[in-house]
């Protein structure tokens, strides 16, 4: 929060890119109470109107991400990489709602050992958070998913929603699941 206040000072040259690395180990040793609040991000973006933020999160719990992600962050790129924790559908949904104007890159990686049971972000809901992300985030040009279940029909929906604007759609073959009805049609 203090860094955001200093950078928001009009005496500083406006920022264009800010990369943040968030790691579970650092969160264990430091409180999230010192993270910038939404008003800090608003002040920073007033002075740096072209600012875009890139967040790389390693093994960060979904509850912690929900506390970190403030509406006024001009988030352009986010990369989740985990070995222990899994990103929740709620975090993906929040990202698609809050950052629909800026988000261009979304990378979701889960380096699981058990290749037979990937987490499913849809949580048996009718609306898959990745499909909603593709629908809401009209600037999305890169979507990569490794180690999470992606249903084949949702993958098709994502490709159709973003069309040729989606330059990279990368999904591990083992992540793709088919409904039983789809398998019969194949």
Per-residue pLDDT in tens (0 to 9) along the chain, 186 residues: 888 888 888 787 889 999 999 998 877 777 778 889 999 999 999 989 999 999 999 999 999 999 999 999 999 999 999 888 888 999 999 999 999 999 999 999 998 666 567 888 886 667 899 999 999 999 999 999 999 999 999 999 999 999 999 999 999 988 898 876 655 555
The fold of the 15-30+38-177 domain, in CATH, is: 3.80.10
pTM value surpassing 0.85 = yes
Query: What is the rounded CA–CA span in Å between residue 171 and residue 179?
Result: 17
> Domain segments of the chain: what residues?
15-30+38-177
Interacting residues of 155 by C-beta distance below 8 A, sequence separation 6+: 169, 171, 176
Distance in angstroms (rounded) separating the CA atoms of residues 167 and 170: 10
The pLDDT value recorded for residue 47 is: 87
Q: Which residue has the tokens 């800090």?
A: 40
Helix (H) or strand (E) holding 153: helix 152-162
Exposed, middle or buried: residue 108 (CB in 10 Å: 0-12, 13-18, 19+)? buried
Q: Which pLDDT belongs to residue 125? A: 65
């Amino acid at each position: 929060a203090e860094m955001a206040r200093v950078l928001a000072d009009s005496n500083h040259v406006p920022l264009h890119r800010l990369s943040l690395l968030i790691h579970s180990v650092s969160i264990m040793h430091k409180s999230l109470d010192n993270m910038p609040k939404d008003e800090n991000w608003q002040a920073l973006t007033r002075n740096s109107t072209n600012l875009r933020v890139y967040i790389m999160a390693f093994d960060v719990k979904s509850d912690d991400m929900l506390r970190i992600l403030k509406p006024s962050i001009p988030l352009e790129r986010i990369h989740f990489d985990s070995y222990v924790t899994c990103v929740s559908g709620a975090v993906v949904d929040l990202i698609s709602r809050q950052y629909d104007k800026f988000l261009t890159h979304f990378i979701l990686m889960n380096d699981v050992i058990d290749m037979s049971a990937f987490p499913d972000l849809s949580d048996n809901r009718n609306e898959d958070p990745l499909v909603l992300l593709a629908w809401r985030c009209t600037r999305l040009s890169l979507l990569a998913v490794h180690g999470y279940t992606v249903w084949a029909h949702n993958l098709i929906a994502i490709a159709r929603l973003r069309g040729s604007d989606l330059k990279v759609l990368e999904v591990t073959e083992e992540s793709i699941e088919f409904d039983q009805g789809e398998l019969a049609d194949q």
